[in-house]
């Protein structure tokens, strides 16, 4: 097509690379049965502007959304078994800021491009590096600050190792206190030029 | 493994979650470096 119809075309690649730049990645070691307790504590400790919480199945998305509501937090949820129209509406409302938390399965093939999301939680750790990157990564345009917290069980150890080495990244143990400058916009200050 | 063991975390009632989850205590149960060394020594072609 191009050769036939275009004369001296300029080629521009508009596909944004997904990047982990600007995202600080932590893991918490948990047993499966501790996950909800752990998540509840994260909700109470972190300064969440908006969060996205990922599960590995549509059934677990629904169960977790229900649980989060029981805990007294509001959330929306979307997963692959919903019709596209409903999904779009929920996602649109979330983007508008109508709700603070969104629980979902893997629907994003281009990373999350919502500026207001400063915390991403992998309630279930993914099995593949590509999935991890789609969940945590930001498209280049938005490479901005945030934290990703992975709930890791002993069964996830192989996936953790594989994903770290394939992406050439390090997922660190969650510290006692997370520096707000890493994910809360108001606390984020550009390094002083005098310090460089 | 029980087929529904993955559901464990959803079955517990939520009203008993009063104290904070102890991140430090749990992190001590997982020696990442040792686990990685074990994985790498059993699959030398991984690295």
Q: What string of pLDDT tens digits covers the 47 residues of chain B?
A: 444 555 578 877 776 667 899 999 999 999 999 999 999 998 766 55
- Give every CB contact of residue A68 below 8 A, 6+ residues apart in sequence: A39, A53, A75, A101, A103
Query: In Å, what is the CA distance from A193 to each residue of A18, A36, A40, A190?
Result: 28, 43, 39, 9
Pairing of strands A75-78, A101-104: parallel
In the prediction, which pLDDT does B3 show? 46
Residue-level length of chain A: 196
Query: In Å, what is the CA distance from A83 to each residue of A57, A79, A80, A86, A90?
Result: 16, 9, 8, 6, 11
State the pLDDT confidence band at A107, using cuts at 50, 70 and 90: confident
Closest to B30 (Cβ–Cβ): which among A29, A35, A36? A29
- Nearest Cα of chain A lies from the Cα of B35 at a distance, in angstroms, of 8
In the prediction, which pLDDT does A14 show? 47
- Nearest Cα of chain A lies from the Cα of B26 at a distance, in angstroms, of 6
pLDDT digits 0-9 by tens, A166-181: 999 999 999 999 999 9
In angstroms, how far apart are the furthest CA atoms of chain A?
62
Report CB contact under 8 Å: A36, B9. Answer: yes
What angle do the packed helices A129-136 and A157-167 form, to 10 degrees? 70
pLDDT digits 0-9 by tens, A129-176: 999 999 998 865 555 789 999 999 999 999 999 999 999 999 999 999
In the prediction, which pLDDT does A148 show? 97
pTM of the model: 0.86
> What's the average model confidence in pLDDT over A113-125?
93
Return d(Cα A69, Cα B8) in angstroms, integer.
18
């Amino acid at each position: 097509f191009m050769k036939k119809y275009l004369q001296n075309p300029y080629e521009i690649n508009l596909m944004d690379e997904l990047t982990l730049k600007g995202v600080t990645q932590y893991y918490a070691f948990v047993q499966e049965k501790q996950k909800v307790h752990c998540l509840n504590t994260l909700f109470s400790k972190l300064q969440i502007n908006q969060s996205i919480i990922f599960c590995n199945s549509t059934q677990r998305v629904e169960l977790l959304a229900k649980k989060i509501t029981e805990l007294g937090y509001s959330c929306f949820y979307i997963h692959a078994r919903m019709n596209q129209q409903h999904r779009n509406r929920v996602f649109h409302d979330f983007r508008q800021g109508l709700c603070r938390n969104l629980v979902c399965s893997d629907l994003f093939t281009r990373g999350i491009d919502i500026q207001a999301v400063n915390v991403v939680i992998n309630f279930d750790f993914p099995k593949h590096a590509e999935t991890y990157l789609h969940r945590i990564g930001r498209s280049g345009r938005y490479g901005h600050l945030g934290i990703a917290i992975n709930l890791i069980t002993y069964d996830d150890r192989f996936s953790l190792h594989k994903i770290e080495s394939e992406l050439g990244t390090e997922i660190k143990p969650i510290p006692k206190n997370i520096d707000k400058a890493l994910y809360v916009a108001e606390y984020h200050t550009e390094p002083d030029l005098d310090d460089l | 493994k029980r087929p529904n063991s993955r559901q464990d975390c959803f079955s517990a009632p939520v009203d008993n979650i009063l104290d904070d989850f102890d991140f430090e205590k749990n992190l001590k149960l997982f020696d990442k470096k040792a686990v990685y060394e074990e994985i790498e020594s059993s699959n030398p072609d991984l690295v």
